[in-house]
């Protein structure tokens, strides 16, 4: 069983829980409540969110900005490896 929850953080509502620690931020409590309910009832949405979370984390690494010295943290082959790993993990 999924265990997603929501809570108020400053002026927004955060949806969080397993298998991801942070899902989204909402301006409206009702929307946060709806998203939480759907995630807790759906055997399909939760794995898809995990997959999407992995993709987003890899893309953030690949899209990191240039360092002040004009170089990047990862070269093309490192970026290719990051992308290939996550694609293979999910059978793409």
Instruction: Identify the pLDDT of residue 81.
Output: 94
Note the pLDDT tens digit of each residue in 3-60: 889 999 999 998 888 656 777 888 899 988 998 888 888 878 877 877 877 888 888 8
Mean pLDDT of the chain, nearest integer: 86
Burial of 76 (0-12, 13-18, 19+ CB in 10 A): exposed
Collapse the DSSP code of 22 into the 3-class scheme (helix H, G, I; strand E, B; otherwise coil) and give the result.
strand
Which two tokens mark 86? Answer: 């996550």
Instruction: Identify the pLDDT of residue 41.
Output: 86
Collapse the DSSP code of 9 into the 3-class scheme (helix H, G, I; strand E, B; otherwise coil) and give the result.
strand
Q: What pTM does this model have?
A: 0.57
Higher pLDDT among residues 83 and 44, named by residue: 83
Contact 32, 40 (CB under 8 A): no
């Amino acid at each position: 069983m999924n265990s997603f929850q929501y809570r108020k953080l400053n002026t927004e509502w955060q949806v969080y829980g397993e298998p991801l620690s942070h899902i989204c931020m909402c301006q409206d409590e009702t929307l946060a409540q709806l998203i939480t309910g759907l995630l807790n009832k759906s055997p399909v949405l939760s794995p898809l969110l995990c997959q999407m979370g992995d993709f987003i984390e890899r893309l953030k690494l690949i899209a990191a900005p240039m360092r002040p010295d004009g170089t990047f943290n990862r070269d093309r082959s490192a970026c290719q490896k990051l992308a290939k790993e996550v694609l293979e993990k999910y059978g793409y």
